[in-house]
A and B are shown apart, each in its own frame.
Chain A
Amino acid sequence: MIAAAGLRKSFGDKVVLDGIDLDIAEGTIFSMLGPNGAGKTTTVRILSTLIRPDSGTVSVAGHDLATRPDAVRAAIGVTGQFSAVDNLLTGAENLAMMAGLLRLDRRHRDRRVAGLLDQFDLADAAGKPASTYSGGMRRRLDLAMTLVGSPKVIFLDEPTTGLDPRSRRAMWDRIRELAVGGVTIFLTTQYLEEADRLADRIVVLDQGRIVADGTAAELKRRVPGGHIRLQFADSARLRAARSVLGAARVHEDALALEVPGAGDVRALRDLLDRLDAAAIEIDALSVHTPDLDDVFLALTGRPVEEVAR
C-alpha cells in the first residue's frame, strides 16, 4: 500500500532522512518509532505530499507520488502532530467543510457529519468553536475530519502526544477499529508502549536511518534476555557502575541501572566480575525480560529519554 525506496531529504546542511526504504502491506498498522528529531515527521510530510524528497521514489495506494500527487491525496488522510482543525469554526462546521471539499453527495453530508460527531463523542460540543475544545476533543475532531472521506491510508503523526492516559487508550481503540475496517495505518510515535500495543510491524528510526525492522516480538528477540537491573546504595556507586558498564539506562531517583543484554549465567558472571574488579558494591540485582525500551537502547546505544532530550 505504501512503498518507498531510497528516500532522502536534507534541510540545508542537516540530513534529516538518509536513505529510507519502506514496504507497507494493506490493512496493517505500521509504526515508525524514534525519538524527537529522528525524521519521523519529515517522513510523514513526504509521504502525505506536503514536501518533496530530495531523491527516492514513493508510491501510495498504487499512485506515484511525484507524478500523480492528487491521486495520492484522494486516497490518504492525515492527522498531524499539530492539530489541523479550524479553531474559529465549530466542530460540526469543520466536518461539514471537509465533506464539502471532498465533494460528498449533498444528501449524505449531514448524515456523515452527524455520524462522525456521534462516533467521536463530539455531538454535545458540535456547535461550539474548536478553540474551546480540550486537547483530547481536538484530537478526536482532527481524526474525525481525516475520516470524512473514508481514506484508504491514514497517516497518524504522534496521535497521542500530549494526551492523558485515558484519552490515549481511547485513541488506541479507535486506531485498532480502523485497521480492522481495512484501513492501512502509518503511525509515528515516540512511545514504545504505543508501538508495542498497536503495530503489526515496527521500524526504528534513528538519525534519518532505519536501524531495525520487524514485529514487536522480533525486535524483542534481537535483544535476548532483556536487561539486568542493578540497585545501588548511593549515587556515587551508581555513577561508578555506569562508567564501568557503558551503555546502560540510569534511573537516578531509584539508584538503579539497567544493562541491556542476555540474562544467562555467563553474562551475569561477567557483569559481576567487572563490578567486583572496580570494587563497586551492589545492593540488589534482578533479571528482566525485554521490552521495546531495551530494543532501542541496544540498537542505538542510547536510551530513548536521553536521545529525546
Chain B
Amino acid sequence: MTFSGVTFAHALNDSGIMLGRNLRHTLRNPSTLFGSLLVPIILILVFVYILGGAFSAGGQYVDYIGPGGLVLTMGYSVASTAVGVANDMSEGIIARFRTMAISRAAVLTGHVVGSVIRTVVCVALVIGVLLLMGFSPEAGFAEWLGVAGLVVLMAFGTAWLTVAFGLAAKTVEGASFATFPLVFLPFISSAFAPTGSMPAGVRWFTDNQPFTPIIETLRGLLIGTPVGNNGILAVIWCLVMALGGYLWARALFRRDPAA
C-alpha cells in the first residue's frame, strides 16, 4: 500500500506523461469523441423539438432540459472511458508499464484526467448547441463558475467509477455494458420532466438518485430555480463516486494481471 520510493514529483511526472498519451489517443481516434457527443445532442433535439411541445414544465422547455442535457452529455462522455480503459488493458504496453519503476497510479490518473478534459470539452460544445436552440440562462459570472466547478467534479467522480468499470470488465463489451447506469440514470431523474408529475415509487427513486441533485443544482445555477440542499447533496454524491471509484480501481490495478 505504499508507492515505495516513488516520490510525489515522480508520480506527477508519470501522470503527466500518461495524460499526454491519453489525449494523443483521443486526437488520433476522434470518432469516440464524436460518438459520445452525437447521442446526447440528438436526444436533446428530440426532446425539445418532438416531445417538448407536449410538456409543460413552465417557461421555455429548452431552458428546463438544458441542465439535464449537460448531465446526459457527461454520462455518455465518461462512459466511453470504461471502453477505453478496457481496450488499453489488453495492450502489451500496459504490461511494459507494470515492469517499470513508475508510479502505478499514473496510468489510471492519465485516464481520469483525460476523461475529465474530454467531458468538459463535450459539455462546452453542448452548451453551444443549447444556446443556438434558444437556451437562455440567467447565470452571472459566479454561477457559471459554479456550473464549471460542478461539471468538473461530476466528471472526476464518474471518471474514477468508469475507470474501475473498465478494469473490472473481462471484455471490452462487458465494459461498455457496465456503464449503462451512467447513460440511463439521467432519464429516470428530473432531467426531462419535474419529478412531481411521476407516480410515487418512481418519484422516490428519481428524488434520491445521484443525478437529480446534480441536475437541480445546475438548473438552479443556470436558470435560477431554487437549489435548496441539492447543492451539498450533489457535491457529496460526486465525492462518494470519486472515492469509491478510486479505491476500487486502485485495488483492481494492483492485483496481478490475468495469466
Secondary structure of the B side of the interface?
helix
Q: Does A51 sit at the interface, judged by CB under 8 A? A: yes
Q: Are A88 and B24 in contact (CB under 8 A)?
A: yes
Q: Does B102 sit at the interface, judged by CB under 8 A? A: yes
- The answer for the CA separation of A116 and B95 in the assembled complex, in Å, is 22
Within residues 4 to 20 of chain B, which ones have a CB less than 8 A from any CB in chain A? Answer: 4-6, 10, 13-14, 17, 20
Q: Are B98 and A101 in contact (CB under 8 A)?
A: no
Q: Does B142 sit at the interface, judged by CB under 8 A? A: no
- The answer for the CA separation of A76 and B95 in the assembled complex, in Å, is 13
* Chain B residues, CB < 8 A from A87: 91
* Chain A residues, CB < 8 A from B97: 101
Q: Does B229 sit at the interface, judged by CB under 8 A? A: no
Q: Are A93 and B259 in contact (CB under 8 A)?
A: no
* Chain A residues, CB < 8 A from B21: 86, 89, 97
- Given the interface pairs A70-B4, A88-B25, A93-B24, the reply to whether A51 lies near B96 with Cβ below 8 Å is no
Determine how close the nearest CB of chain A comes to the CB of B132; give it in whole angstroms.
Answer: 33
- The answer for the CA separation of A42 and B4 in the assembled complex, in Å, is 25
Determine how close the nearest CB of chain B comes to the CB of A49; give it in whole angstroms.
Answer: 6
* Chain B residues, CB < 8 A from A84: 92-93, 95-96
Contact of B99 among A50, A68, A89, A103 (CB under 8 A): A50
- The answer for the CA separation of A101 and B20 in the assembled complex, in Å, is 12
Q: Are B6 and A80 in contact (CB under 8 A)?
A: no
Q: Does B54 sit at the interface, judged by CB under 8 A? A: no
Q: Are A89 and B101 in contact (CB under 8 A)?
A: no
Residues of A in contact (CB 8 Å), total 33
* Chain B residues, CB < 8 A from A93: 24
Q: Are B95 and A80 in contact (CB under 8 A)?
A: yes
Q: Does A74 sit at the interface, judged by CB under 8 A? A: yes
Inter-chain contact total with CB atoms closer than 8 Å = 70
* Chain A residues, CB < 8 A from B1: none
Q: Are B13 and A103 in contact (CB under 8 A)?
A: yes
* Chain A residues, CB < 8 A from B20: 97
Within residues 81 to 122 of chain A, which ones have a CB less than 8 A from any CB in chain B? Answer: 82-89, 93, 97, 100-103
* Chain B residues, CB < 8 A from A145: 96
Measured CB to CB, the nearest residue on chain A to B4 is A70
* Chain B residues, CB < 8 A from A80: 92, 95-96
Q: Are A83 and B14 in contact (CB under 8 A)?
A: no
Q: Are A100 and B13 in contact (CB under 8 A)?
A: yes
Q: Are B17 and A11 in contact (CB under 8 A)?
A: no
- The answer for the CA separation of A78 and B5 in the assembled complex, in Å, is 21
Q: Are B259 and A50 in contact (CB under 8 A)?
A: no
Contact of A86 among B93, B95, B98, B99 (CB under 8 A): B93
Within residues 37 to 90 of chain A, which ones have a CB less than 8 A from any CB in chain B? Answer: 42, 48-52, 68-71, 73-74, 76, 78, 80, 82-89
Measured CB to CB, the nearest residue on chain B to A67 is B4
* Chain A residues, CB < 8 A from B25: 88
Q: Does A129 sit at the interface, judged by CB under 8 A? A: yes
Measured CB to CB, the nearest residue on chain A to B103 is A101
Measured CB to CB, the nearest residue on chain A to B96 is A84
Chain B 96-111, CB-CB to A under 8 Å as 1, else 0, gives 1111111000000000
- The answer for the CA separation of A34 and B14 in the assembled complex, in Å, is 37
Determine how close the nearest CB of chain A comes to the CB of B33; give it in whole angstroms.
Answer: 14
Q: Are A42 and B93 in contact (CB under 8 A)?
A: no
Contact of A11 among B14, B98, B259 (CB under 8 A): B259
* Chain A residues, CB < 8 A from B101: 70-71, 73-74
- The answer for the CA separation of A49 and B254 in the assembled complex, in Å, is 12
- Given the interface pairs A84-B92, A101-B100, the reply to whether A50 lies near B13 with Cβ below 8 Å is no
Contact of B256 among A50, A86, A97, A100 (CB under 8 A): A50
* Chain A residues, CB < 8 A from B24: 88-89, 93
Given A69-B4, A70-B4, A70-B5, 19 more A-B residue pairs with CB atoms under 8 Å apart are A16-B259, A42-B259, A49-B98, A50-B95, A50-B257, A74-B101, A78-B95, A78-B96, A84-B95, A86-B21, A88-B24, A88-B25, A88-B28, A97-B20, A100-B13, A100-B17, A101-B17, A101-B97, A145-B96
Could you write out 7 A-B pairs with CB less than 8 Å apart?
A48-B99, A68-B4, A70-B4, A71-B5, A80-B92, A84-B96, A103-B13
